[in-house]
Amino acid sequence: MQSLKMADYIGSEILVTVTKARMLVGTLVATDSELNLLLDNVEEISANRSRKLGLISVPQTTIESIQIKATQLETIKKSKFAWSEDII
C-alpha cells in the first residue's frame, strides 16, 4: 500500500500550529523539498483574535503540527488509491 506524501494534500484545508497560541488555517497551495508550506486564504487564529492574511509562506522550522479534517483525509486516500489502481 502506498503512503500519502505532503504533495497529496495540495488543495486541502489544513490547520498549522506554529506556536501554542498561534494557528494558521488555509488551503495548501504548494510545498518544497524542505517542507516549507505555501498557504492561501489563510486565517490566523490566536488567543484573543483572528485575522485574514491571504497568501503566506510558512517556514518548516516554525511548524509545530499540521492537522487535516478526517473527512478530507478519507477523500484524499480514496482518490489517490483509486487512481493508482487504475494504472496497475
List domains and CATH numbers for the chain: 6-87 (2.30.30.100)
Alpha carbons 80 and 44: distance in angstroms, whole number: 30
pLDDT band at 1 (very low <50, low <70, confident <90, very high): very low
Alpha carbons 75 and 58: distance in angstroms, whole number: 25
Strands (E), the chain: 13-19, 22-31, 37-46, 50-58, 65-68
Please tell me the pTM assigned to this model.
0.79
Model confidence over 11-47: pLDDT tens digits? Answer: 999 999 998 889 999 999 999 989 899 999 999 999 8
- DSSP three-state, residue 68: strand
According to the model, what pLDDT value does residue 20 have? 80
Contact 28, 10 (CB under 8 A): yes
Higher-confidence residue: 58 or 48?
58
